[in-house]
């Protein structure tokens, strides 16, 4: 079986879903721009260089959902997809996903961003399988906390193996490829047969060059 793994942010998407979601909410007046913008930029910068704490990162962004139900968020989520996400997915990114789907690969999107924000993007790209950070929901709505293993750094490998085991599959039995831009995904890239760096950050670019990994630019 051929397994193909796609990171989302700065890989298939030109931008970061969490950061864009916050910018979108500030534009809509849901978040106070004066109070939130600097914190948002700081979190993005520390994530890019791999220094942010995992739970700190996840709680910061999942916290933007707190206090509303999925149903209450849905109109804004649909608007976010149409106006902020779709224009940032290049034709080259769509063509790459389609190539793997048409080849019969098992295609999975694996992202640190939470499921509620990213599942419509996966649907838009015709990617059936999504592994993402899971936001906690109760009858009253999102709590602002996460549940389970965060889908970040080593957690991406753990979550992938759990996901495959639940389907009677093993990573070592697959011909596997992974696409990512980020040093945060180095554990995932090391776990597959063919790692591919996509518009890589400086740290990942150096590793890709030293290791002879392919480098793509989709945007």
Q: Please say whether the beta carbons of 171 and 190 come within 8 A.
A: no
Closest residue by Cα to residue 28 from 94, 83, 93, 66: 83
- Rounded CA gap, 188 and 207, in Å? 14
Closest residue by Cα to residue 179 from 158, 195, 163: 195
Helices (H), the chain: 17-27, 33-48, 54-62, 70-80, 91-102, 115-124, 154-165, 186-190, 202-211
For 181-206, what is the mean pLDDT?
Answer: 97
Residue 149: predicted pLDDT: 95
- Rounded CA gap, 63 and 183, in Å? 25
The better pLDDT of the pair 58, 14 is held by: 14
Q: Which of 9, 105, 181, 185 is catalytic?
A: 9
Is 185 part of the annotated catalytic residue set? no
Q: Which of 7, 18, 23, 105 is catalytic?
A: 7
Comparing 2-11, 12-21, 26-35, 137-146, the range with the smallest average pLDDT is 26-35
Tens of pLDDT along 173-187?
999 999 999 999 999
Tens of pLDDT along 106-158?
999 999 999 999 999 999 999 999 999 999 999 899 999 999 999 999 999 99
Is 42 part of the annotated catalytic residue set? no
Residues forming beta bridges with residue 141, ordered by sequence position: 138
- pLDDT tier at 24 (50, 70, 90 boundaries)? very high
Tens of pLDDT along 67-76?
999 999 999 9
For 42-60, what is the mean pLDDT?
Answer: 82
What is residue 31's three-state secondary structure? Answer: coil
pLDDT averaged over the chain?
95
Closest residue by Cα to residue 130 from 46, 6, 25, 1: 6
- pTM for the full model? 0.93
Asked if pLDDT for residue 50 goes beyond 80, the answer is no
* Domains in the chain with CATH codes: 2-213 (3.40.50.1000)
């Amino acid at each position: 079986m051929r397994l193909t793994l796609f990171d989302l942010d700065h890989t298939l998407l030109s931008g970061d879903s969490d950061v864009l979601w916050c910018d979108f909410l500030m534009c809509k007046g849901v978040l106070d721009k004066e109070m939130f913008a600097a914190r948002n930029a700081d979190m993005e910068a520390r994530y890019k260089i791999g220094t942010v704490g995992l739970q700190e990162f996840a709680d910061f962004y999942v916290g933007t959902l707190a206090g509303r139900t999925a149903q209450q968020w849905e109109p804004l989520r649909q608007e976010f997809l149409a106006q902020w996400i779709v224009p940032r997915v290049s034709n080259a990114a769509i063509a790459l996903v389609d190539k793997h789907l048409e080849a019969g690969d098992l295609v999975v999107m694996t992202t640190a961003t939470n499921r509620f924000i990213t599942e419509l993007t996966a649907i838009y790209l015709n990617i059936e399988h999504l592994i993402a950070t899971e936001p906690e929901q109760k009858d009253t709505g999102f709590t602002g906390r996460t549940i389970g293993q965060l889908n970040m750094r080593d957690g991406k490998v753990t979550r992938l193996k759990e996901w495959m085991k639940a389907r009677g599959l093993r990573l070592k039995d697959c011909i596997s490829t992974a696409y990512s831009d980020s040093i945060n995904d180095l554990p995932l890239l090391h776990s597959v047969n063919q790692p591919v760096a996509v518009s890589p950050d400086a740290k990942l670019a150096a590793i890709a060059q030293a290791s002879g990994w392919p480098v793509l630019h989709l945007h």
